[in-house]
Homo-oligomer: A and B are copies of this chain.
């Protein structure tokens, strides 16, 4: 695998083969340039086993648009396709089709609307809609789902972990256990969803945020192998990084060696006019050790020094550590909140792989096709009625109540305008007869969620900065009910259909039944 192979694998052929063979069927049938409309959405929140999410954070869009900008059927890709043979040794792809791909095989004629990256999103609401020539809209599917499914999964996990650790510093450390090159997407999504920093050097430079880290056990081991000591290793580190001195104290023995040696080094630093950042604990009973180490640092005159925790942390472990510190603080004569306030977190594996739920099941469904200048709804007549897609061109709105809390997302046809109505009827998307009525006076705002992000050959909006993405995320989370933010058994946020969309869906269901019986 060299640069050329890497380019091939990350270019237009970063797709499932069937997108290309289907595109050729469309080409043969002469419908490859017919306007089509696809919806992208996911059907359920991540469920991590004994805890689950009550919201997701949309992520991955900006990198998808980058890919669309830079990617088309170039000669190396076309050459590979031209060489492909079927069982009988005949070319799989015909010359005319490849010729069409060489001219039109790019994403310039598509239009994308999307819910902005960084925002809170919910199941069944279209997160992205794609409109344009059927063949290229089809070919976009795999890359779109790959980018949005994964980054949304990780941004969501990061938001949950951020929630568990309050306003304390949170760093992403997961590259070594991440899924190959996907570690870069993981670090990016983690920064959007809630991490302050990442250890991933290259990605941090690209996102324009300084990469962070401490040191590993190897540093102390190296000094000791040379017959020198943990203290001398710490001193070497502190000499080089006097104003960002954070020492890993569990290589030998946390309480009997690591922390006493760190304190010695911190005292030297202070004599030279520097304040230490703190220590890192990477093993053992982190709650117990946090209390003990906090006392030692206080007694030595370093009440401001941080304690960085790492070692397979996630949102539930962090909550558990806080609970244990609160349970155990009185017995130890410490103020629990003081200990918790000085904790900061290095989270790796369980964040970047979304442990417990390692995928988000986002799908990309054809919902309408233009026939004779008119849009016709496209349906998948699945075996299960709850999996029926919502047909046609749709919009989505977020409805805020009088406390300015998001109370529901509403899906309707794109020519509907809920803001103009005196009362809003919100229908449950699956259970018939269940609905909720809101008066205009109960509502503080109705916000359209989908924005035009790609049209006329490229982006419609400037590239968002990381800070903008993070701000969107924080603000949306602030508008959620605390029950929705809950880590386990969260309150179910309402996703509703307008009466017209529900009616259209019911008609299609009736048509399915007829079709099955007929």
Do residues A213 and B18 form an inter-chain contact, with CB atoms below 8 A?
A: yes
Q: Which residues of the partner chain B approach A177 to less than 8 Å between Cβ atoms?
A: 145-146, 149-150, 359-362
Against B, the Cβ 8 Å flags (1 = close, 0 = not) of A352-364 are 0111001111101
Partner among B85, B146, B199, B251 whose Cβ is within 8 Å of the Cβ of A18 = B199
Q: Which residues of the partner chain B approach A176 to less than 8 Å between Cβ atoms?
A: 16, 141-142, 145-146, 149, 362, 364
Partner among B138, B180, B222 whose Cβ is within 8 Å of the Cβ of A378 = B222
Do residues B10 and A225 form an inter-chain contact, with CB atoms below 8 A?
A: no
Do residues A236 and B181 form an inter-chain contact, with CB atoms below 8 A?
A: no
Cβ of A302 under 8 Å from chain B: no
Against B, the Cβ 8 Å flags (1 = close, 0 = not) of A15-31 are 11111111011101101
Distance in Å: Cβ of A155 to nearest Cβ of chain B: 12
Q: Determine the residue in chain B with the shortest Cβ distance to A376.
A: B225
Query: Bound complex: CA of A89 vs CA of B387, how far in Å?
Result: 56
Cβ of A100 under 8 Å from chain B: no
Cβ of A36 under 8 Å from chain B: yes
Cβ of A448 under 8 Å from chain B: no
Do residues B225 and A378 form an inter-chain contact, with CB atoms below 8 A?
A: yes
Q: Which residues of the partner chain B approach A379 to less than 8 Å between Cβ atoms?
A: 221, 224
Distance in Å: Cβ of A441 to nearest Cβ of chain B: 42
Against B, the Cβ 8 Å flags (1 = close, 0 = not) of A334-376 are 0000000000000001000111001111101110110100001
Q: Determine the residue in chain B with the shortest Cβ distance to A210.
A: B84
Known A176-B149, A359-B353; judge A240-B515 contact (CB<8 A): no
Do residues A180 and B175 form an inter-chain contact, with CB atoms below 8 A?
A: no
A195-249 CB contacts (< 8 Å) to partner B: 199-206, 210-219, 221-222, 224-227, 236-237, 239-241, 243-244
